[in-house]
A and B are shown apart, each in its own frame.
Chain A
Amino acid sequence: MTKPLSILLVEDDQIEIMKFNKTVASLSIKCDIKEANNGEEALQLLLLKDQLPDIILLDLNLPKVNGLEFLKIIKNNTSLKHIPIIILTTSDSYKDKKECFKMGVAGYMTKPLKYEDYISKITKTLFYWNESELISA
């Protein structure tokens, strides 16, 4: 028996969310997806200690609390900082990348324009993390 890969997607763009869900549904691995439209909502979900995600996919361009601030909060939180966070954003700016890696992200992906490239990226990423040993709290 295999546990599904539990993912917290922090993304405010509804089309991006649809795209992600559609892509994951077509994969051969089992995934359990929770969505948060902004940092606040995500933090609310992360209060549930018995339902922590295996990985977090984080967009940097969020309303209210922006991605970098959210990242900082998680990394400063002793019960949450172990969760691998993978950035999934439109920005490929050197500054953003460096800041994120300094704070300790497990990966940084830019949202590709071409649909096929997106599917390929997400597939490879989720297959990779599915192979990894992970802890939920």
Chain B
Amino acid sequence: MNKLLQHQINTCLNDFEDISLLQPFLEAIHSSYTNYEEQLKLPTNTSEEKIQTKLVSENKLLLKKLETQHEELNNYSNIVSHQLKSPLVNICTLTNWVKEDYANKLDNKATETLDLILSNVEKANTLINGILEYSTIDKIEIGNYSVDTHNLAEKMIGCFETPNTLKITIANKLPKINGDTHRLSLLFQNLIQNAINYSKPEGGEIVIGVKDKGLNWQFFIKDNGIGIEEVYHDKIFNAFNKLSSKVNSAGIGLSIAEKIVAYYKGEIWVKSKINKGATFYFTLPKE
């Protein structure tokens, strides 16, 4: 302790002739410090409640904001797709006119190039349609009603023009479930389309069926096609992940299927080995 400080303390002590006079000061300091400590440790009930109510109302505000943003995004994706589609249609129209009007002036290379323009525009259009479907499929408001999935599956199978070498059958009676035909048709359609896309070119077989799993129905759609490596079992449900560039699709069919299944609070997964076909399973709640 340096001499100056020592001197200051001594002067201080000298002022108080009787050290006992310091006592009340020390006690006052001590009690206010203890009070302060207590206040730090335990927030009082009212301040806790206040914090809680504040959090709840902040939460509600955030949810409302999220809802509005969601709705805006939904409308936005609708508008964007329609605005994007118009120029695509125009590109096709104009390209066709060039082909027609200058038919005798265009050589094969030119016609090929123009056809490539058309096929690329078609790809873009398919993509836009896919994006639109994906972003709206869980938001369209249609009521729930009893849907005969057997009837539905038969109808969807009938929609596909497949070669005679490909057989699509339903193994057992599919049940009635609560939902709407729009979404459920799309679900079956996408899974059947997928099975067809990756099926064997000769002797392809696709089987659709269902198993009773207590609270749910577990549907399956099984093909004997090229199969899917385990590594990709999760990836295929991601939008735009195609496993073959030869297949002419947007690569969004399975993601839409997953969204529809999720909308009905079900689950979807795949069991497959390369070259050993694939079986897609999905659950839907019982009526």
Contacts and interface: CB of A to CB of B under 8 A. Distances in A.
Contacts, number: 47
Contacts of B93: 15-16, 19, 115, 118
Chief secondary structure at chain B's binding surface: helix
A16 B142 CA distance: 33
A13 B140 contact: no
Contact of A91 (B82, B96, B142, B182): B82
A93 B83 contact: no
B110 interface: no
A61 B82 contact: yes
A94 B141 CA distance: 10
Given A93-B132, A94-B140, A13 B83 contact: no
A114 B86 contact: no
Interface string B79-95: 00111011011101110
Interface size class of A (residues with CB under 8 A): 10 to 19
A93 B88 contact: no
A113 B78 contact: no
Q: Which among A13, A60, A95, A115 has the highest number of chain B CB atoms within 10 Å?
A: A115
Interface in A69-106: 89-95
A111 interface: yes
Contacts of B125: 113
Chief secondary structure at chain A's binding surface: loop
A90 to B, nearest CB: 4
Nearest to B125: A113
A115 B95 CA distance: 10
Nearest to B136: A93
Contacts of A13: 86, 90
Contacts of A111: 85, 89
A114 B89 CA distance: 8
Contacts of B182: 94
Q: Which among A13, A19, A89, A113 has the highest number of chain B CB atoms within 10 Å?
A: A113
A60 B86 CA distance: 12
A95 B82 CA distance: 13
B78 A93 contact: yes
A61 B122 contact: no
B94 A15 contact: yes
A61 B92 contact: no
A113 B88 CA distance: 8
Contacts of B136: 93-95
A16 B89 CA distance: 9
A113 B122 contact: yes
Nearest to B74: A95
B127 interface: no
Interface in A1-34: 13, 15-16, 19
Contacts of B85: 90-91, 111
Contact of B92 (A60, A94, A95, A115): A115
A61 B89 CA distance: 14
The 8 closest A-B pairs by CB, nearest first: A90-B85, A115-B96, A15-B90, A91-B82, A94-B140, A113-B125, A19-B93, A90-B82
28 contacts: A13-B86, A15-B93, A15-B94, A16-B89, A16-B90, A61-B82, A61-B86, A89-B82, A90-B82, A90-B85, A90-B86, A90-B89, A91-B85, A93-B78, A93-B132, A94-B136, A94-B140, A95-B78, A95-B140, A111-B85, A111-B89, A113-B89, A113-B122, A113-B125, A114-B92, A115-B92, A115-B93, A118-B93
Interface of A: 13, 15-16, 19, 60-61, 89-95, 111, 113-115, 118
